[in-house]
Amino acid sequence: MANQPLEKFLEIRGLGDVKIIRIAAAFEIARRIVNQVLEEKEDV
C-alpha cells in the first residue's frame, strides 16, 4: 500500500485530499525511519 501512487487513494470512498496527504506523510515518515534504522545496522 505504501508504494501506491496517490491517485490510487483518490479511488477510495471517504478519503479527501487532506486524509490522503496525511497518509502519504505517514508512509514517508515510516520510510525514513526504516532507512535510518537500516543505515545504523550497517554501521555496527
Q: What is the mean pLDDT of the chain?
A: 89
Residue with cell 479527501: 16
Instruction: Report the 10 Å Cβ neighbour count for 27.
Output: 14
Q: How confident is the model at residue 11 (pLDDT cuts 50, 70, 90)?
A: confident
Q: How confident is the model at residue 27 (pLDDT cuts 50, 70, 90)?
A: very high
Cβ(9)–Cβ(23) under 8 Å?
yes
The predicted model gives 13-34 an average pLDDT of 92
Q: Is the model more confident about 39 or about 2?
A: 39
Of 38, 32, 40, 39, nearest to 2 by C-alpha is: 32
As a whole number of angstroms, the distance between CA 21 and CA 42 comes to: 32
- What's the pLDDT score for residue 44? 74
